Amino acid sequence: MEEEKKPIKDDTGGIESMVPAVKILLNQYPGLLPGEEVKFEELEETSGIAFINNGGAMVYDEDTDVTGSVDQKCQYLFILIYRMQSSRERQKLIAQQFLDTFGKWLCREPNVYERGGAPVEYPVLTDGRKIIRLKRDLISATDPTDKGVQDWMLPVAVEYTNEI
């Protein structure tokens, strides 16, 4: 089994580059309804779709060549949240399926799209950064509130390189 790498330091400029790029990418999802928008760290009281930082932008590997150029392998972690108000099992299954399909689309998993396809190209980042791939984890949910509001969460890791 592959050993999990630990971050060696923060990518101090990475968060400023990653947040707008991830927002652009998420809002390209063909499964969003007309007028629906994925916001950054902003959800309505009973519904909405947003993403939040989950640890920031971190450097996991760094190599310096003889000319002084530095190549870093980095990750930006975020959580995609789908908030809904319902106590019905069918609605909860729809929320889970929505996030699952969204995650498959983000990670360019083939043959899973009902509408549209995988992103043709990841957004361009600033200052020598380039997105390599996205990886998703398992979907989880919070316990419903007294009013039946529940957050469904999909953790995502953006792997990218940074050339300095």
Q: Is 25 helix (H, G, I), strand (E, B) or coil?
A: helix
Do the domain assignments include residue 90? yes
Which CATH number fits the domain that encloses residue 136?
A: 3.30.2000.30
Do the domain assignments include residue 112? yes
Per-10-residue mean pLDDT for the chain, 164 residues long? 73 89 92 92 92 91 85 94 86 88 86 56 84 93 89 94 88
pLDDT score for 1: 46
Burial class (CB in 10 A: 0-12, 13-18, 19+), 147: exposed
> How many structural domains compose the chain?
1
Placement of tokens 């063909």 in the chain? 30
Do the domain assignments include residue 106? yes
Q: How far apart are CA 13 and CA 16, in angstroms?
A: 6
Range of the domain at 72: 9-163
Tokens for 126, please give them: 């600033």
Q: pTM of the entire structure? A: 0.86
